[in-house]
Each structure stands twice: as structure tokens, then as C-alpha cells.
Amino acid sequence: MKKILKSTLAIVAVFAAFTSCNNSGKSGGKSGALSSNIAEKVYVAPGEHDSHYAFISGGYSGNLTVYGLPSGRMFKEIPVFSQFPTSGYGYSEETKPMLNTSHGFIPWGDSHHPDISQTNGEIDGRFIFINENNTPRIAKIDLKTFETTEIIEVPNSAGNHSSSFVTENTEYVVAGTRFSVPVPQRDMPIKEYKGNFQGALSFISVAPETGNMDIKFQVLMPGFNYDLSHPGRGKSHGWFFFTTYNTEEANTLLEVNASQNDKDFIAAINWKKIEEYVNNGGGKMMPAEYAHNVYDEHTHTATSTMKKEVRVINPTEVPGAVYFLPTPKSPHGCDVDPSGEYIVGNGKLSANLTVHSFSKMLKAIEDEKFAGEAYGIPILNFEDVLAGSVEQPGLGPLHTEFDDEGNAYTTFFISSEVVKWKLGTWEVIDRKPTYYSVGHLTIPGGNSRKPQGKYMFAMNKITKDRYLPTGPEMEHSAQLYDISGEKMELLLDFPTHGEPHYAAAMEADLVKERSQKIYNLEENKHPYAAFSDSDAKVVRKGNEVHIYMTTIRSHFTPDNIEGIKLGDKVFFHVTNLEQDFDVPHGFAVLGQNTSELLVMPGQTKTSVWEPTKVGVWPFYCTDFCSALHQEMQGYIRVSPKNSDVPLKWSMGEDIE
Amino acid sequence: MFLAAILPLGLFLFPLWKITLEAPQYPTPLGMYIHINDFVDANPHDIKNINLMNHYVGMQYIPEAIPEFKIFPAGIIITTILGLLIAWKGNYKWFLGWFILMIILSAAGMYDFYLWEHDYGHNLDPKAIMKFTNPDGTQMGFQPPLFGSKDILNFRAHSYPQFGALFLGLGIAAGFVAYFIGKKRHKKLPS
């Protein structure tokens, strides 16, 4: 132990020397011309557009944020797994079903790894997928509207972390479990974990046209922790790779007990083989309960369906489908290079960075050279699959991304830096500090055959003094680097929202062209939509009152409503009749205990209000929509329960 | 002369006129094409959005249809048939007659357009949300220009002829040219 400590200290000292060397070099050149040159590289003039989109996960905010590169400006927060009062997502009647699960309505989520859909191994910019770690779910966001349109719960999973990465034609979005659990869930002693808990790796099919998701099968693996994953591509298309830790199968004090084995595994899954097995009727359907929530862009409404069974696969029943590649010390990131040949296991407690070779793996499988087996799954020899290793590149490697010139970029959490190294020669080319303790990094086009080069950004876990202080709690920080040269160049710091775990980025053009401006009113199929002021009405059904309300600059119809009684459940169905770009209207009523609504042109949203007090209560537009926005208001009269005030409404004249 | 008579039919294929409204908050300007038989959005929903803007100052909605949409096409068809008949049977003097007729009709059309524009820009709802007056105290009008560009409050309005008008103009000009050619030929011919 002493020895390790000593050598670690030595490494740190060496790195400190390197780092300070770099710093002094840089600060020397930072004066005058060079610093203004850097400013130009990130300057996007007013009214100009960034060249790249970055979709940065919001971590425990449950959402996904949209940024522009190189400016680092945030454009939108897309609500995904968390209620979002700004738009009414998760509060409106239409979107509440999106957050339904087999555990009931869950108002919150922990979003992790966004990944953009692909065609032929290249990013196509149609959809972006993101996983919820805590109550396992996968969401799909449509990049035409930048709205969450589908969420599927993942049964038999817990800590949905090695997710949500797509295969090269978006055949599947894959979700692995970080925490193994009893499958099926049952009441049993925790200490009986070993040999009894299992880890489910879920392959969720994505329909080519619609993008509809469905769990095709789950591979029930031994009870390890499946930490991260990536698809094979090119020659390794058809395979999927997962890092594991806790192959010790500890169930307590994991920081010690799960760090004992010299090597854990990368699990290599031949999903094409399993798919074929499944298509021939393989596997078995097991009872399960999981929600599938789909948002319809024509009814502007989500529906939640509870699914009752899922197909599970015992990996030992599909020969040749699953292998273990020994990988040193609790590997975290599992990254596949653009050619599909190299699989990087970022052993976070290892001094070296391990890279496996796909072709050597195939050869070893062909030669049946196995070192043993774990729960019936063959283990290959470390030496047989090793392509090479980067010797002592830094401390605490977490994630690796690639450029289009055969270079890899790895983040080191402990030594707080990004290291650029060469695939094949394994030599370190450059290292740059990050501020501080970097987690993920992203290169546009990252998880694909065609990285788009030019930029790389590091998402840091610790912010400390990078910005003006904001008390003990602050946003995280990201750093943008220019990677077009031999050496990386730090360009910009920018704050990120929540805790970003990974981001997906791409050149802007594909998405920009398809981004929708309004919802066409003629295509609105919402059952409570009103299509003109004359369609507006108020209908009572028992104690439910449905208000078919319209908004257009600058009035509500109706704007005087009487005949509501205490105990009524009032549904404000608000249709925005505007058909102009960026003219939303908001809706709020005094005492509304859900949230406001922000209704886009052509859209209908519903807010439920259960008044608790007799009176005349105002409602108003919350979005400064027009010159007469302040006049966009109305009144709703609430009478006692036994009152006989008739139900009436008007706009532009008094209720008679 | 055949050409002269046929060219104005281009009005059925291409818009006659276009009115464009530019403002800072409309990076894509609002626009309306005037066809011989219809008003058409330059971009989807433009007319609806022009109406929405204009209601603040009490302007009327742009109607779905106006009587001119029936009269103008009939006028064009009749004058085309007339032109063809003349080209077939008539002599060059008739060509001049057709030319003058077309000039008068076009001028009448422009005058009609001006009247409509004037009414549209000045006949305002007395309950208009915003009332603007000119420096001399009279009510401000919002009439778009007949031809050219003009600032109206936060908008800059452009009003220019389109392909259809070009076809009409070429047809009329061709009528005049036909008259000259006919006249020359007539002189050359020994009669």
C-alpha cells in the first residue's frame, strides 16, 4: 500500500511538472495577439448562429439542455424526466402521463447520457435519446420540435446507467443496469446478493419510420454493476460492449469491497446473434410491469400504457453471444473508436489505460482460448484481446472520445486533465488541465463512425472559483477546447445546468433546417381544442367544468366566466390560435396549484383548477405576447356550492 | 399581335403584385401576393398575421375574396379573345385600338387598387386600440404605397409588380409594337 502511495505521489509530481510547464508556456503566449485570437474563435456575432449544437444532460435536473458551440450559449432546457413549470410539462393534463411509471407518477429524474440517432453509423439528427438513472427509463426527444415525445420504463433494471447508446442504424437504444437486483423483484435478505441478483441489459428497438420504442429483449447477466457501454461500429457492428465493476458481487461498502479484484470485465454482447435467436422464438416472456408513455403531436396529448411482460434471455442459452474481456480495475467508460476496432476500458483505479482489439477478440473466440468462465459465460485471456495500453497517462481515467484523425482524448478525474493520445502507437501527444475534476467529454459526432472534429468540451464536476461566487451551491462548469491542431487549445469556460453526465453534439445544419416554427392549427386533433373565438364554450359535466378557451393577440375567449361552484373541477383547455413564429400565450389563474401553461401557436394545453374559495378570480397571460399583453386577462366567478348562478360566459360584452 | 393577346394570360400563372412588410421582429418579412383572382400568403399564415397586426390600429381584415377577383379575370379573357380576333381579322389600326383599351383598363385596375388601398388604410375602426395622428392632428392613415416603398410606423412597406404584371405589360407593349410593324408593312404595300 505504501508503495502504491509513493508511486502515485511520484506520478502526481511528474504531472504537476508537466502541467506547470504547459501553463507557463501558455501564459507566456497569452498576451496580445494570441488572446484576441482565442476570443475570435468563440465569438459569435449578434444575430449570427453557432456552428454546432450541443445537447448536454442535466443530471439531477432530469432535463436536457441545448447549447451552441463555440459560444457556449444555452438556448433551451428541454423538460424530459422532471416537472417543468415554465411550460407546464408534467403539470398539464396532456403531459402528466409522460411521467407515469409502474411506481406511479414520478415528478423527477436523473438524466445521464444523451445520444443522437444514426443512419449508417453517422449522426442523422432525427431524435435524441436519454436515460433516467434512478427510476430506469429511456426517453426520446424529437429534434423537429425539441420536445420529449416518448418515455419507456425499463423493468428488471436499477440504476439505468450504461445507457442510452444507439447502434449504428438506430436499430436499438441500449439500457444496462448499474445496480443488480433480484429478478423478478422479491422480498429476500440483502446478504444473499451474491449469485442471486442479476443485471439486465435491455435492447430497446426503435421503429425506423416513427422512432417508436419497444423492449425487444433483456439479457439477464450475472449480478455485477454494468457501468457504461457503447455499440460496435463498422466491423464490430452487431456487438455491444459494457464495462463492469463489482465483479466481487459485494452488497456493502462497495468503495472497498468492489475494488478488490485486479481485473473486472468488459462484457461483449453479440446482439445480432441474440436478435436472431429471439426472432426464432428464443427467450421467454416473463411477467413485468412497466410504463410506455407516448406523446402524440397532433392531439398534443400523451398516453401512458402499462405493459405486462418482457422477453428475457439467459445468455448461456445462446452460445457464442456473450464473452467477458478482463479489464483492469473497475473500468468506467467503455468507448469504441470510429473504426470499430478498438474498445477502450477506462479503468478508473488503474495506472494504465487498457485498449482491447475487436479483431483479436474474434480470433480468441474462434480459437476457443478461454481463461475460464463466470456463471457459464466464457472469459477470454487478457493478453489475447489486448491491443495495447497507454502507459501512465494520468490518474482516474473516466471517458474517451475520438477525432477523425486517429486520436483519442481521455478525461482523468483525479489529475483533472484531458489527455490526447494516438490509437495504435498509444503515445501521449498532449495534455491540458481542466477546471476541475472532469467527468465526461464530448466531441461533436462522438459516438459515430464520423467524428466531426474541431471542438471538444470537458464537463467538470467541481466549479469552485471559475465564476463569480453564488454561495455554496453553484452550476457546474464546462471547458471548450479547439482540437484542430496537434495541441489542444483551451478556448472558453461556460456554466452548465444541473450535473451534466455526457453530452451529444453535432454540426448544426441537419437539425437547424428541420426545426419546426409553429404547430399547424389545422392538424390539431386535441379533443378539447377550439379553432376560433366562436368555438369557445363552457360545458358542465357533473362537477367537472370544461372551458374551451382560445387565445389570440390580445385576448382570451371567453374572458368572463360565471357559474363555477366550490367543489367543481375546472378544466381550462387553452388553444393558442396564433400561427406566427414565436408567439406563445401563457395561462395562469389565481390559486392555480399545478403550474402555468405556456401554449405554443396551434397547440392546446389543459390546466386543472379546483377553486377553494368563493370570489371573482382573475386569470391572465403569463407570456409578454404583444403590445396589449397587459390587457390579456379575464375573470372567473366562483360561487358557493349551493348557489344557483347559471353557467355563462362571454367575451367583448357583459354576461346577461 | 398573337403574342400580344396571349401574354396577359400569364396573369393566371403568376402574381400581379406583391406587398411586403418588414419590421425588426419579422426577420422573415410578412408578405402577400395579389393574384388576378386571389390573395396568397408569401409564407404560410402571412395574411392572418398581417390582419392580426393591423387590428391594433383598427384596419379591416383583408377579405377572402373581392368582386375584382371575378371582374379582372373576365376582363383579361375578354380582351385576350378580342386581341386574338383582331390579330386574325383586323388591321393594324385595330391593334392600336386594342393597345389603348388595355392601357385604359390597366389604369382603371390600378385606380381600383388605389381606392381599395386607400379605404383599407384610412377607413379605420373607431374603437381601434391604438389611434395615431399626423403632426397636423388629422388621423394617420396606413395605406400601403401603390408602387414603391414607404415607412408605416414600425413597418417598412414595399409594393411592387410581379411576373404577372410583367406579362401584362409585355402584352400591351407587344400590341403597340404590332401596331407599328403593321403600319410600316401597310405603307410598304402598294395599295
Q: Determine whether the interchain pair A627/B44 forms a contact, defined as Cβ–Cβ distance below 8 Å.
A: no
Q: Is residue A203 in a domain?
A: yes
Q: Measured between CB atoms, does A580 come within 8 Å of chain B?
A: yes
Domain of A606: which CATH number? Answer: 2.60.40.420
Q: Give the pLDDT of residue A35.
A: 58
Rounded to whole angstroms, how far apart are CA atoms B185 and B179? Answer: 10
Distance CA A175, CA B7 (A): 66
Residues A552, A471 share a domain: no
Q: State how many domains chain A has.
A: 3
Q: How deeply is B20 buried, as exposed, middle or buried, from its count of CB atoms within 10 A (0-12, 13-18, 19+)? A: buried
Say what the pLDDT of residue A172 is: 98
Residue A123 and residue A227 share a domain: yes
Instruction: Tell whether the model's pLDDT for residue A117 goes beyond 70.
Output: yes
Identify whether residues A534 and A617 lie together within a single domain: yes
- Decide if A628 and B129 are in contact by the 8 Å CB cutoff: yes
Chain B nearest-CA residue for A553 = B52
User: Is A167's pLDDT higher than 80?
Assistant: yes
pLDDT recorded at residue B180: 87
Distance CA B41, CA B24 (A): 20
Distance from CA of A104 to the nearest CA of B (A): 42
The answer to whether residues A135 and A222 belong to one domain is: yes
Packing angle, helices B92-122 and B163-188, rounded to 10 = 160
**CA atoms of A103 and A289, how far apart (whole Å):** 9
**Same domain for A72 and A98?**
no
Residue A25, pLDDT above cutoff 50: no
Instruction: Quote the pLDDT of residue A23.
Output: 43
Q: Which of A65-79, A259-273, A468-482, B118-132 has the lowest mean pLDDT?
A: B118-132
Q: What is the DSSP letter of A363?
A: H
Mean pLDDT by 10 residues, chain B (191 residues): 87 93 93 93 94 90 89 92 87 87 92 91 88 87 90 92 93 90 80 50
Size of interface A-B (CB pairs under 8 A): 17
- Asked, for residue A148, whether it belongs to a domain, the answer is yes
Query: Given B45, B129, B130, which is nearest A580 (Cβ)?
Result: B45
Q: Which H or E element spans position B19?
A: strand B17-23
Domain end point (choices A305, A329, A353): A329
Using the Cβ of A579 and the Cβ atoms of chain B, whether some distance falls under 8 Å is answered with: yes
| Closest residue on chain B to A627 (Cα) | B56
Shortest distance between the Cα of B9 and any Cα of chain A, in A, equals 33
Q: Calculate the CA dihedral of residues B164, B170, B176, B177 and round it to 10 degrees.
A: -160
Is the domain of A265 the same as that of A237?
yes
**At which of A516, A543, A570 does a domain end?**
A516
- Tell me if A579 and B130 make a contact (CB, 8 A cut-off): no
Given a cut of 60, whether residue A8 has pLDDT beyond it is no
| Residue A315 and residue A220 share a domain | yes
Q: Which residue range(s) make up the domain with A637?
A: 521-650
Co-location of A565 and A637 in the same domain: yes
Q: Minimal Cα–Cα distance from A69 to chain B, Å?
A: 23
pLDDT of residue B128: 87
Give the per-residue pLDDT at A31. Answer: 47
Candidates B41, B52, B57: best to mutate against A (most CBs of A within 10 A) is B52
ipTM of this complex: 0.85
Asked if residue A310 is part of any domain, the answer here is yes
Q: CA-based angle A27:A31:A36, to the nearest 5?
A: 115
A533-572: pLDDT as tens digits: 999 999 999 999 999 999 999 999 999 999 999 999 999 9
In a domain, A348, yes or no: no
Contacts of A581 in chain B (CB under 8 A): 28
Q: Rounded to the nearest 5°, which phi and psi values hold at A376?
A: 85, 0
Instruction: Look at residues A329, A347, A374 and tell me which one is the last residue of a structural domain.
Output: A329
Which residues of A are less than 8 Å from B48 in CB distance? 579-580
CB contact under 8 A, B49 and A580: yes
Instruction: Return contacts of A253-262, CB within 8 angstroms, 24+ apart.
Output: A258/A225, A258/A330, A259/A329, A259/A330, A259/A349, A262/A328, A262/A329
Share the mean pLDDT of chain A.
94
Q: Is residue A373 part of a domain?
A: no
Q: Which of A580, A582, A600, A624 to mutate to test the interface with B (most CBs of B within 10 A)?
A: A580
Residue A515 scores a pLDDT above 70: yes
Mark whether A482 and A551 lie in a shared domain: no
Give B57's contacts in chain A (Cβ within 8 Å): none
Looking at the domain assignment, is residue A143 inside a domain?
yes
Residue A403 and residue A321 in one domain: no
Taking residues A499-518, report their average pLDDT. 96
Pairing assessment for the beta strands A397-402 and A428-433 based on DSSP bridges:
unpaired
Indicate if the pLDDT at residue A99 is higher than 80. Answer: yes
User: C-alpha cell of A610?
Assistant: 379546483
B44 contacts in chain A (CB < 8 Å):
579
Counts of helices then strands in chain A (DSSP H, E): 7, 46
In a domain, A364, yes or no: no
A345 in a domain, yes or no? no
Predicted confidence (pLDDT) per residue in A202-225, tens digit: 999 999 999 999 999 999 999 999
- Give pLDDT, residue B93: 85
A518 vs B contacts (CB less than 8 Å): 45
The verdict on a CB contact (< 8 Å) between A518 and B49 is no
pLDDT digits (tens, 9 = 90+) for A258-271: 999 999 999 999 99
Is A578 close to B52, i.e. CB distance below 8 A?
A: yes
pLDDT digits (tens, 9 = 90+) for A281-337: 999 999 999 999 999 999 999 999 999 999 999 999 999 999 999 999 999 999 999
Chain A CB contacts of B52 under 8 Å are 552-553, 578, 580
Same-domain status, A577 and A536: yes
A578 lies within 8 A of chain B by CB:
yes
Nearest CB to A627; choose among B28, B45, B56: B56
pLDDT at A1 over 50: no
CB-CB: which of B28, B45, B129 is closest to A579?
B45
Show residues of chain B in contact with A627, CB under 8 Å.
Answer: 56, 130
Cα dihedral angle (A333, A337, A340, A342), rounded to 10 degrees? -70
* Chain A residues whose beta carbon lies within 8 Å of the beta carbon of residue B49: 579-580
Higher per-residue pLDDT: A18 or A425? A425
Assess whether A88 and A27 both reside in one domain: no
In a mutagenesis test of the A interface, which of B45, B47, B125 is the best target, namely the one with the most A β-carbons within 10 Å?
A: B45
Residue A213 belongs to domain with CATH number: 2.130.10.10
pLDDT for A527: 98
Q: Is the dihedral of CA A174, A179, A180, A184 positive or negative?
A: negative
